[in-house]
Amino acid sequence: MDDARANPMDPLIQAALFDLDGVVVFTDRYHYLAWKRLADEQGWDFNEQVNNDCRGVPRMASLQVILDHNGVALPDDRKRELAARKNGYYQDLLKSIDESDLYPGAVEFLHRLRDCEVKLALCSSSKNAPTVLDALELTPLFDTVVTGHDFERPKPDPQIFTLAAGRLGVPAERCIVFEDAEAGVAAALAGGMHCVGVGAPDVLPNAPQTMRDYDEIDLDAMIATGRIRRAE
C-alpha cells in the first residue's frame, strides 16, 4: 500500500469500499439468468447453492464452480469460450437495467458519506461494473473504481480492497468494506479492514456486523468507531 499514515486525531473511518452486486445494485438476477441459460444449454445442474457459491468471484472462477459441481472437466480454451458466451448473455440482460435495480437507500447513503468527506471506492470482480455504473449514472459518486480488469487474485484474497485503499491513499485500518458474500467479507478482514455484511447474519456468518437497510446505520458511530450501531 502507499505510504499513507494514520493520524490518531483523524476520524477512524476515512474511506468506504463497496462491492457492487447485492450491495449497491441488484444485478445478481442477471448473473443468475445468464449462468442458468448457459448451464441449461450444456445440460448442467445450476441450483441455488451453486449460484450462491458464484457470488463475489470472477467469471472464470464461477464457471469452475459450476464445472466442479457437475463433475465436468474442460480444456482452458473451451472454458474461455463458455465464459465469454455467458458474458454476452449477461451484457444483453444489462440493457434493461434501471433505477428499480438499485439497492434501496444505497445512493442516498453514498451521498451522506460524501457529505462527511469519506472517500468512496467501488470494488467489483465484474469487468462489466463500469457499464452498470454508467447506465445508472453512479460513476461520479466514487473516487475510484476497481474491477476485474485491475487485479489478479480474486476474493477471498484482499488484493481488490488493498488496491482501492492504495489508490485512495487511506490506510487499511481506516477503511470499511460493504460486502454481501462470504468471500468478500473474508477478503476485507484479511486486508485488515472494518467490514459490514450486507444481508442476514445467518447468510454471512463470518461478518463481524451485518445490515439489511442502509437507514439502520448510525453514520456518526460508524465514522468514529467502525461499528454501524452505537454500543448499548
- So which residues are the catalytic ones? 19, 21
Q: Please give the Cα distance from 173 to 208 (Å, whole number).
A: 15
| Pair type for strands 194-198 and 175-179 | parallel
One-character DSSP codes across 1-39 = --S----TTS-S--EEEE-SBTTTB--HHHHHHHHHHHH
CB 176 within 8 A of CB 15: yes
Q: Please give the Cα distance from 16 to 104 (Å, whole number).
A: 18
Residue 10, judged by CB atoms within 10 A of its CB (0-12, 13-18, 19+), counts as exposed
